[in-house]
């Protein structure tokens, strides 16, 4: 569900050079011929490849890392407590009973290192979800605003998964070109790993009380991409400089969460999280959450919008524009009636290739109905009455709840 700009231009092969110390000749004891040992990863070189591919920051971590056992135990406890909700993919296990995501070595026993990259989606000129907006406006999480020009020059939705995976694979290909054959896998939110834990271990930031990775300069509005390799890290780079927890006594994210999903610092109950409810959860949304979902129709930015570290990041300097992840103006505080008027064909036209498509046509309508009920706008009653008679249980329940709420106001 998330839970990090500069476009890669041209070929990396004409701009990157491998450090001389990474090529180590030795003599084969059987043939007497000179050969080369398997290469080792250099932190500086791996980071340079990532930055040239368009990422804003990158860190390298040797596997297993020092806090891996602690992180694995925390993940097991979180899943065991039922906090993953209906996200069954987080509960998948290996043949020996270990959760696939608790350690990278479980699904990838050959993994000896991970390069974790951060691509920002922070837009200084855009509003925050916590700022007052016109009544009748919805909120779509800012990571889903992304778009790029197609071959005809038209602005179309873009999906960060595809954009960043392409960059990650460019890094992977360049490494293979320079270092020879080795096992590797690239992922952007889709692999059996916990990118946030790897990112913290690689020195990219710390895990905040809102459970997001917070980079000390870039904040938490960022995507994470990971490249696992079977290559060792050279000895002098084996230990990443960790970023200490700088949340201090601040509890703004915990206090701001409308559904109390952050009931314990550094832990999030997905079953109460607005992002989970509006994206991952299927069917009716419990009435106990509906009023507190407010105007969020896809995802939620509240716990990040109130974070002081994001405020500092926006003030520290301009975020480099990314032509493949530029925000679509129409998705920033979109009008509820515009969203509601979409039929399934128009939904596909507007969101095919966008993260918003994940919630589905009826799922988005369900979320729109709840936002209409929370808007206080009586003119939405006619649309809600139509939806209240639909056959889809989730949309029907949301529309009936919204009508009841509007009639009370």
Averages of pLDDT over runs of 10 residues in the chain (409 residues) are: 31 35 43 53 96 96 96 96 95 96 97 97 86 93 92 87 96 96 96 97 97 95 97 92 96 98 94 98 97 98 96 72 87 97 97 96 98 97 98 98 93
392 in any annotated domain: no
- Whether 409 is covered by a domain: the verdict is no
Contact 18, 179 (CB under 8 A): yes
Using an 8 Å Cβ cutoff, are 160 and 143 in contact? yes
CA dihedral 210, 187, 203, 119 (to 10 degrees): -70
Residue position matching structure tokens 């979409």: 342
Strands 139-140 and 296-298, how do they pair? parallel
DSSP secondary structure of 250-296: --HHHHH-TT----BTTB--GGG-HHIIIII--SPPPHHHHHHHTTE
d(CA 295, CA 372): 8
* CB-based contact 232:24 (threshold 8 Å): no
Q: Which of 189, 237, 269, 301 is catalytic?
A: 189
Cα→Cα distances 346→142, 151, 207, 213, 342, Å: 21, 21, 39, 35, 5
d(CA 56, CA 13): 19
The reply to whether 372 falls in a domain is no
Task: Tell me if 317 is assigned to some domain.
Answer: yes
CA-nearest of 267, 158, 170, 131 to 223 is 158
Residues 6 or more apart whose CB falls under 8 angstroms from that of 373 comprise: 290, 291, 380, 384, 398, 401, 402, 403, 404, 405, 406
* CA–CA distance, 115 with 47 (Å, rounded to integer): 8
Q: Is residue 325 part of a domain?
A: yes
Residue 192 counted as domain residue: yes
* Alpha carbon distances (Å) from 27 to 18, 31, 188: 22, 8, 40
Which pLDDT value is given to residue 18?
36
Domain membership flag for residue 310:
yes
Q: What is the maximal distance between C-alpha atoms in the chain?
A: 88
Bridge-based pairing of strands 296-298 and 213-214 is unpaired
Closest CA relative to residue 303, chosen from 335, 272, 334: 272
Query: CB 18: neighbour CB atoms within 10 A?
Result: 16
CA distances from 364 to 108, 329, 341, 389 (A): 36, 19, 12, 17
**pLDDT on residue 10:** 32
* β-bridge mates for residue 11, sequence order: none
Instruction: Establish if 14 belongs to a structural domain.
Output: yes
pLDDT at 3: 39
CA distance 165 to 187: 6
Exposed/middle/buried for 230, CB within 10 Å: 0-12, 13-18, 19+? middle
Helix (H, G, I), strand (E, B) or coil at 407: helix
- Total domain count, the chain: 1
Quick one: which H or E segment has residue 305? Answer: helix 302-305
Quote the domain boundaries for residue 149: 1-335
Active site annotation includes 189: yes
Q: What is the sign of the dihedral through the CA atoms of 198, 201, 203 and 205? A: positive
User: How many CB atoms sit inside 10 A of residue 335's CB?
Assistant: 13
Identify the H or E element spanning 184: strand 184-187
């Amino acid at each position: 569900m998330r839970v990090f700009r500069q476009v890669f231009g041209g070929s990396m092969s004409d701009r990157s050079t491998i450090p001389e110390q990474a090529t180590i000749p030795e003599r084969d004891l059987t043939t007497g011929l000179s050969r080369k040992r398997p290469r080792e990863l250099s932190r500086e070189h791996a980071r340079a490849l990532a930055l040239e591919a368009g990422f804003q920051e990158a860190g390298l971590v040797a596997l297993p890392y020092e806090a891996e056992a602690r992180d694995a135990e925390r993940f097991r406890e979180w899943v065991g407590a039922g906090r993953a909700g209906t996200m069954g993919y987080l509960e998948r296990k290996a043949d020996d009973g270990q959760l696939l995501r608790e350690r990278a070595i479980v699904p990838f026993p050959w993994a000896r290192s991970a390069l974790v990259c951060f691509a920002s989606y922070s837009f200084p000129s855009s509003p925050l979800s916590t700022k007052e907006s016109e009544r009748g406006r919805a909120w779509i999480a800012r990571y889903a605003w992304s778009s790029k020009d197609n071959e005809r020059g038209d602005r179309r939705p873009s999906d960060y998964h595809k954009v960043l995976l392409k960059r990650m694979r460019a890094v992977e290909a360049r490494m293979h070109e320079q270092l020879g054959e080795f096992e590797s896998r690239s992922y952007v939110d889709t692999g059996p790993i916990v990118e946030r834990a790897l990112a913290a271990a690689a020195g990219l930031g710390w895990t905040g009380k809102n459970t997001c990775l917070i980079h000390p300069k870039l904040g938490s509005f960022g995507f994470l991409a990971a490249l696992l390799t079977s290559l060792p890290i050279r000895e002098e780079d084996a230990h990443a400089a960790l970023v200490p927890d700088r949340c201090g006594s601040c509890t703004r994210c915990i206090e701001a969460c409308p559904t109390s999903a952050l009931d314990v610092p550094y832990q999030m109950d997905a079953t109460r999280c607005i992002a989970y409810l509006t994206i991952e959860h299927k069917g009716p949304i419990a009435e106990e959450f509906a009023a507190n979902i407010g105007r969020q129709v896809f995802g939620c930015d509240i716990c990040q919008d109130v974070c002081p570290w994001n405020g500092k990041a926006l003030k520290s300097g301009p975020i480099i524009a990314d032509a493949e992840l530029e925000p679509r103006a129409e998705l920033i505080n979109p009008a509820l009636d515009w969203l509601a008027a979409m039929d399934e064909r128009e939904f596909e036209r507007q969101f095919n290739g966008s993260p918003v498509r994940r919630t589905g046509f009826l799922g988005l309508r369900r979320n729109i109905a709840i936002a209409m009920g929370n808007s206080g706008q009586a003119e939405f009653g006619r649309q809600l009455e139509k939806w209240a008679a639909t056959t889809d249980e989730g949309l029907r329940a949301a529309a009936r709840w919204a009508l009841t709420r509007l009639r009370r106001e």
